[in-house]
Amino acid sequence: MTADTIPTEALPRARATTKERVKPATRGAQALTTIIVVALLDIGLYVLGVILSNRSGGEPAGGILIGVAFLVTIADSIAFRGLTPVVPGEARVVQIFGRYMGTIRRPGLCWVNPFTERRKVSTRIRNYETQVAKVNDADGNPIEIAAVVVWQVEDTAQALYDVDDFARFVDIQTETAVRHVASTHPYDAHEDGQLSLRQNAAEITTQLTAEIAERVASAGVTIIESRLTRLSFAPEIAQAMLRRQQASAVVAARKTIVEGAVGMVELALAKLEEREIVELDQERKAAMVSNLLVVLCSEQNTQPIVNAGTLYQ
């Protein structure tokens, strides 16, 4: 296994025990209409009972009607507790006596068994920005790194029942994944084809997203994207690393200049021989090459010196 691969097979996998399923629910408008109608009938029944109770000989019937009206009031009040509003971007996880019954995702007013417990779960897109962490990269250099991850609850049952606190779970696993990715890649690449944190941001964030998704899958969470928000050397080595980067840039620039100068000298000699402008022996060619390389590779303007004699004097 190389530093460019993520050992996802080594990540801990929590065995999912609960899967989300749709909870059938009665439309709230129908249930509310029924509850209102029953309440009106109950009021009428109570009024009728009071009227009968005030009449001579009607006390037993009136008492029965009042008692029935009281029971209907209790039943109607219990039924009213079954009305459940579901706003867009939220879901209601329904359970009864500790048993998972299903999840309501359809927005609007609905009615479910009033004896059930209905827990809200936000299905909106969220983001979490990690704290700036100091980690040693693959080369052992201390760096500071931070990231932001965009995530969303996909399986509400897993989010509630398979982990203790799914939001905190995502936070901790994100921090862990950021540290792991930072420690398995160098800050700067030293070989061709090697992934580095600074030069391969797109590939690194893709790997980071995949690793976070693997870690939080047991919580019913899907990762939409992740991005590095901070990447730098730790303050104690920042100056030394800056000098090293500057030296590497100077060496690379010098290499390009020398390669270009050699090509130009080679072209000049080839053109002179091709057009037979002047005949040069090996010693004169060496002198010409030396002079041209000095002129082309020098950082300062060169001052030509005219030789009044010959090359051999």
User: Residue 313 is encoded by which pair of tokens?
Assistant: 């004097």
Segment 101-112 mean pLDDT: 92
Segment 169-196 mean pLDDT: 88
Confidence at 15, pLDDT banded by 50, 70, 90: low
Would residue 201 count as lying in a domain?
A: yes
Confidence at 262, pLDDT banded by 50, 70, 90: confident
- When mean pLDDT is compared over 16-20, 63-67, 304-308, the highest value belongs to 63-67
Give the number of domains in the chain.
2
Q: Residue 3 pLDDT more than 50?
A: no
**187: phi then psi, degrees, rounded to nearest 5:** -65, -45
pLDDT of residue 63: 83
Lowest mean pLDDT among 30-34, 132-136, 302-306: 302-306
207 and 244 inside one domain: no
291 closest CA partner among 312, 309, 265, 272: 265
Residue located via tokens 């007013």: 109
C-alpha of 107 from chain center:
27
Lowest mean pLDDT among 6-15, 146-155, 191-200, 267-276: 6-15
Q: Residue 308 pLDDT more than 70?
A: no
Would residue 52 count as lying in a domain?
A: no
Would residue 100 count as lying in a domain?
A: no
Is the dihedral angle over the CA atoms 164, 165, 169, 172 positive or is it negative? negative
Strands 133-136 and 221-233: unpaired
Would residue 219 count as lying in a domain?
A: yes
Render pLDDT for 78-88 as a digit per residue (tens, 0 to 9): 999 999 999 99
> Which of 235, 251, 286 corresponds to the end of one domain?
235
Instruction: Report d(CA 139, CA 4) in Å as an integer.
Output: 13
293 and 214 inside one domain: no
228 and 131 inside one domain: yes
Residues 6+ apart with CB under 8 A from 186: 3, 137, 138, 139, 141, 194, 196, 197
222 and 191 inside one domain: yes
Would residue 166 count as lying in a domain?
A: yes
pLDDT of residue 25: 82
Range of the domain at 144: 125-235
Render pLDDT for 61-104 as a digit per residue (tens, 0 to 9): 788 888 898 999 999 999 999 999 999 999 999 999 989 999 99
pLDDT of residue 303: 61
Distances (CA, A) of 1 to 7, 8, 54, 138, 250: 8, 11, 92, 13, 34
